[in-house]
Amino acid sequence: MKTYRLDTRETSRNGFCIYMDTFFQGRVPAVSDCTEYIVFETELEAQREIADHAITRLQEFLDSEHDFDDATAIEECVVAVSVSADGIITDEYGNCFSIHVE
């Protein structure tokens, strides 16, 4: 899993974020390291992160820590983004987010 640290010569870079649909805000970045949203270099890396999280939830179901519906629901999706040198994430829908978690 990789986050972007832009070179000072770069103006922007493309990547992928894991998003989740929310009732009030709509589709928003969902995965962070508590200070920054995680931007993956490839779509496959982001998809594997979602799959890894799903496997963890399924194991927790088998260990009686979650119910079946919770364990099998995948609410995350992968969205193409561009990260600017000033840390703004712009997604394929035109929405902008700071790379720093608020």
d(CA 13, CA 65): 39
On the question of pLDDT at 102 being above 80, the answer is no
Average pLDDT, the chain: 87
For residue 6, what pLDDT band results from cuts at 50, 70 and 90?
very low
On the question of pLDDT at 13 being above 80, the answer is yes
pLDDT (tens digit per residue) in 78-90:
999 999 988 899 9
What local confidence, expressed as pLDDT, does residue 2 receive? 47
Extract long-range pairs of 88-92: CB within 8 Å, 24+ residues apart: 89/17, 89/29, 89/37, 89/39, 91/17, 91/19, 91/27
pLDDT (tens digit per residue) in 35-66:
889 999 999 999 999 999 999 999 999 999 98
